[in-house]
Structure 1
Amino acid sequence: DTLQFEISEPSQILVSSQVQNVLCYGNATGQIQLQAQGGNGGYTFWINDAIGSAVNSNLGAGIYYTHVSDVSGCLSETEIISITQPSSLSLNLSSTNEIIGLDGTATAVVSGGTTPYSYLWNDPNMQPENMAVYLNSGWYTVVVTDANNCQISDSVFVDVTADLLENQVNTFLIYPNPAKENIQIVGEGKFIRIRDIHGKLIREMSFSNLVNIQNLCSGIYTLEIESGASLVKYVRFSKVE
């Protein structure tokens, strides 16, 4: 008698993949998710010749070689997967001087990352545009956030035009500077404003030749004197304990 045997083989192991690219340059937020079918089941997932899992997280940008083996040791074809990342965020700041009071500007130019960008300046109005306007002299910081929530920040100084200071010195005189309790103003005006180094309004009052600063915290401030139709910003003064 003749015996007949039928030898069968399992179907080919087929692998599908889903890739999540890195969100921010240099981070490890990439992910490769693998799904297999065919073969004899009992799958083992391999990534770069090391045992991985069906979901491989915390991956940086780069090239990854993946394949799947089943319980019988049969292998799928190797799939080459690329995880990409956006370019690094770059931030350049510039400023224009304050000339007549509260007219300085600061501008942010951003590149890289993923558009669109959002902006937040630390001026008193927390301006949300790439250009902050109506600024006093002082340091200003902007935080830029891209579409993937990646952030970059930097600071820029808004200076005051030298001619303005010279004109002001000829008109008003304050002493002592630094001061602990009071500042004496030599000159006349209608209103006085005191702002901190970031331009935030701290106090506004009718003009007086004697200004009490006991309640101010130690630091650098700007004295603005409104005289007639013009706004005069005096040289900064320091409050000390």
Structure 2
Amino acid sequence: CSGMTSFPFSHPNPLDNLCEGCQVTAWVVDANGCTSNSLVTTLKFLKVFTTSAIVTDAICTGDANGAIDLSVTGGPLPLSYSWSNGATSQDLSNLTAGTYSVTVTANNGCTTSNTWVVDEIGDPVVVIGTQISTLTKPYKCRITATVSAGTAPYSYYWNGSLLPGGTSILVTLGSAWSLNVVDANGCNTSTTGTSACLAFNPHTQNILGDNLEVSIYPNPTTGLLNIELSVSEECDGEIALYNILGEKLEIIYQGVVENNKFDLNLEKYPKGIYLVKVQTNNQILTEKVIYK
């Protein structure tokens, strides 16, 4: 401030021994040791003594691989550490998800405290969706898995075998199945079950012959429809889309019928009920599809 004069400062204890917020009384002493009581003043000592940390989260659910890398600013050495989990080291490792607090004590008895939270990325979450049967014997169920959480991309091991991009499989009705989903961090979630979808499709008509299986899903659909064919031997055939009045709207496929999959986009049509008809040399399969 204007008009103030600086004087050498003397105190029985070094400044490093003063904690944040300490009250210091100062006065002027001349070269002869004379003291001027008229200039006595009280100062508040604001020493910087703080902590900061870099937190590493645990990876899989229940893992103990989180860490806290602690840094301390200020405070005369040596420093001592007291963590809420009983540790006395500066840094923590092999941590599970949780809240961790530390009190750091400097050599002069000053302390500072702080708290950090270690999270975990977690395992994938697997939800088994609608199970849809094929239309002819032997009946099969489509087991569909929807995966969230964890870290993409995911690997799908159905019945112990890796199926690239395999979010679903066909399983014979009544058969056991298993799924192990492994994410990019190696975290995994397993689930098992027994296929228990409908043993018939109530919308199927005029089933002739036994060498053709058709799976149409999802049904109802919001636009995109999958049509899968499985045949015991190749034959000529046609897949066509009809409206509810029986009028043919388009030919989806015409030619040699093999084990194929076709995609049909209904978004160009009004929402409603449609028929997908699969016809080969000796059989006709008709499936009612709801577009909503």
> What is the TM-score of this pair, normalised by structure 1?
0.53
Q: Write the mapping of 1:51-62 to structure 2, written as runs, cut at 5 A.
A: 51-62=87-98
| Number of the residue aligned with 1:22 | 58
**Deviation per residue, 1:73-101 (Å, 9 max, x gap):** 322x2112122234664322243334446
SS at 1:52's partner residue? coil
Q: Check if 1:149 corresponds to 2:192.
A: no
> What is the TM-score of this pair, normalised by structure 2?
0.45
Distance in 1 of aligned mates of 2:140 and 2:100: 54
CA contact (8 A) 1:123 1:140 kept: no
Aligned with residue 80 of structure 1, among 115, 127, 145: 115
Q: Write the mapping of 1:13-162 to structure 2, written as runs, cut at 5 A.
A: 13-48=49-84, 50-75=86-111, 77-86=112-121, 89-94=124-129, 95-100=131-136, 104-122=141-159, 126-133=162-169, 135-137=171-173, 138-158=175-195, 162=199
Q: Percent identity?
A: 24
Task: Identify if the C-alpha distance between structure 1 residues 129 and 139 changes in structure 2 by more than 3 Å, giving closer, same or farther.
Answer: farther
**Deviation per residue, 1:192-211 (Å, 9 max, x gap):** xxxxxxxxxxxxxxxxxxxx
- Structure 1 residues without counterparts, runs of 5 or longer: 165-170, 172-189, 192-227, 231-241
Tell me which amino acid in the other structure corresponds to 1:60: T
| Number of the residue aligned with 1:186 | none
Tell me which amino acid in the other structure corresponds to 2:154: Y
Which has the larger Rg? 2
Distance in 2 of aligned mates of 1:163 and 1:38: 76
| Number of the residue aligned with 1:8 | 14
CA contact (8 A) 1:16 1:36 kept: yes
Distance in 2 of aligned mates of 1:26 and 1:36: 29
- Structure 2 residues without counterparts, runs of 5 or longer: 1-8, 17-46, 202-209, 211-231, 234-280, 284-292
1:57: how far off? 1.8
**Deviation per residue, 1:181-226 (Å, 9 max, x gap):** xxxxxxxxx99xxxxxxxxxxxxxxxxxxxxxxxxxxxxxxxxxxx
Distance in 2 of aligned mates of 1:123 and 1:145: 12
Distance in 1 of aligned mates of 2:134 and 2:159: 17
Q: Aligned-residue CA RMSD in angstroms? A: 3.8
Task: Identify if the C-alpha distance between structure 1 residues 99 and 158 changes in structure 2 by more than 3 Å, giving closer, same or farther.
Answer: farther
Task: Identify if the C-alpha distance between structure 1 residues 163 and 62 changes in structure 2 by more than 3 Å, giving closer, same or farther.
Answer: closer
Tell me which amino acid in the other structure corresponds to 2:118: I
1:5: how far off? 4.2
Distance in 2 of aligned mates of 1:69 and 1:161: 69
Higher relative contact order (CA 8 A, sep 6+): 1
